[in-house]
Chain A
């Protein structure tokens, strides 16, 4: 399949009073046409920063891409000018943010906000754009779209606002949709509605999705491929089945084991001890070494290369080295019992 988007050794840093925070430290990823890729990690792992770098939405002067390339349609977005990016944002790559309460403009009607992109990127007339807006609202499941198109965000509930945000993002038929924690601010029953909608829309429109989340349940529901991030690096990538059923990295094990299972009896949760590394002074070796129960001497000083487990599955861990001792994942990390 054709590679739609490719990140190559991406480094992103922030300048703060305390010094340089190396938020993303060499991320390489690729996204195929029409697929859904989830980037999972905890706060500070660099998952949101990676996506903001792709959109070139890093805060001016403070955040910058230090190294690496973002290839999209033969163009390197890391070096694109602001003018070039304006043509891409919303048209080719669009984004849904976590909080639907703050990502909409409270002083503009819903219709105007959807039309903005259509008028700018597709040179539609006002009436055409309005018609398309109504169709989009219908597509994302908003009842009475002809009336609601003229309403303001405060007249919508949280779930409905997120539907509007999705309608805006999809307005110009983008090739890539980046969804940064799209359901985190929503209640479970509303989350189920939105996930359902996103899956449905992806089938209809063929848009590739990059889903950024910390919720492994949402990942299992929506993603085909998963990248697990920790300390600014990708520690494991694979298909959703590989990550859940045959995880190789101890951090992935820890994530899976620290979640209580609804369908099974967990006596004690296997917590990951300690806290994530300080990216002002990132560790030289594996970022997870300080919290890893299997850490060896080599882990402290040397970052492991990504080893191929299968053609689609890679993990960066010294345990996969042939000289390392054989370690089995903890029982609590086994998903779905005997498989």
Chain B
């Protein structure tokens, strides 16, 4: 991808989200995460369960209040004191698609009311007819039809429900959509349908996505750039091609090599980096680099100093002492 000066839609600066855990404990779900999202791009966020990727997404849209740091959307901070009217403005620009299409639709509302909820709140339809027409249009946009409007969620399959979730997000005509594992609950053949739909909509409407998932192959497919998270930190961020061709961070390397590929011959010949042990607890994370306890290249400096978030190559950010000459020198 050509590196052109592009307009930033969203800037996340040193974002932190801590949750209280027990009497004295603090769970550092997201700890000092910074990245930008450009207009019209898809930024993928990958990592294993508990790495803080969903919390990051939810904090950006202010489902959670940030413990510290800023989320700047088109020059304005989303967090901080806000009146209802100000928040409403952000809510119209940012929408979310959730993982579980069974739990994220109210079973007692018709599809029409689910989709029109945002339209009603923001007063986007003047008459009942206008409201209906908008809903019908949205249903057709996501590949359903107007007959579906008066049905209830239980009458739909998982893939169809996810389409309803997408229509609901589109109803207020947002610019930015956070999709939190939107396809993980779906079957393979249905996953492809939903991903294709999301990519089409992006092309038609110029949407910007934050696509959160644990399935790296799907993230690679849909994203322009990908950020890798581990235990509350972003460890690497670059274009999706570069990330998969030349991963720099040892965790990214291990993560990529761990994915089984649907190609038996390749599977037989592939050398795998198998990480030992489990992810440590985010309540009491390791000092220095959080990955050092499982890292095959860990050095002394990794325990002492937290690695800097630095641009190792143009557009390729990584937080690892291996790519920090000073740190390596210090170590020797």
Contact = CB atoms under 8 A, between A and B. Distances in A.
A275 B218 CA distance: 20
A12 interface: no
A262 B46 CA distance: 14
B278 A159 contact: yes
B260 interface: yes
Interface string B116-150: 00000000000000000000000000000000000
A245 B191 CA distance: 23
Contacts of A269: 192, 195-196, 221
B279 to A, nearest CB: 8
Given A42-B187, A214-B188, A188 B264 contact: no
A258 B264 contact: no
A139 interface: no
Interface string B256-279: 111111111111000010110011
Interface in A35-78: 42-43
By size class, the interface of chain A is: 35 or more
A255 B189 contact: yes
Contact of B264 (A190, A241, A271): A241
B297 to A, nearest CB: 16
A255 B189 CA distance: 6
A241 B267 CA distance: 11
Interface string B160-195: 100000000000000000000000000111111101
Interface string A184-197: 00011111110110
Interface string A151-194: 00000010110000000000000000000000000011111110
B8 interface: no
A21 interface: no
B272 A192 contact: yes
A255 B262 CA distance: 10
Contacts of A160: 278
Contact of A217 (B191, B254, B260): B260
A104 interface: no
B188 A42 contact: yes
Contact of B260 (A215, A245, A260): A215
Nearest to A267: B221
A214 B215 CA distance: 14
Contact of A255 (B159, B188, B193, B263): B188
A18 interface: no
A262 B256 contact: yes
Given A255-B188, A335-B263, A271 B193 contact: yes
B214 interface: yes
Nearest to A337: B263
A144 to B, nearest CB: 13
B287 interface: no
Given A262-B216, A262-B217, A262-B220, A189 B48 contact: yes
Contacts of A261: 217, 261-262
A218 interface: yes
B244 interface: yes
B278 A220 contact: no
A42 to B, nearest CB: 4
A227 B258 CA distance: 24
Contacts of A275: 157, 159-160, 190
A120 B264 CA distance: 39
Contacts of B265: 241, 336
A214 B278 contact: no
Given A188-B255, A244-B262, A271 B196 contact: yes
A198 interface: no
Given A188-B214, A189-B254, A263 B266 contact: yes
Contacts of A272: 189, 192-193
A244 B278 contact: no
Contacts of B49: 187
Nearest to A43: B187
Contacts of B266: 220, 263, 336
Among all A-B residue pairs, the 4 with the closest Cβ atoms:
A217-B260, A271-B192, A260-B221, A258-B192
Interface of B: 48-49, 157, 159-160, 187-193, 195-196, 199, 214, 216-218, 220-221, 244, 254-267, 272, 274-275, 278-279
Given A263-B263, A275-B159, 12 more contacts: A42-B188, A188-B214, A192-B258, A192-B274, A217-B259, A217-B262, A240-B264, A244-B263, A254-B189, A260-B217, A263-B261, A336-B265
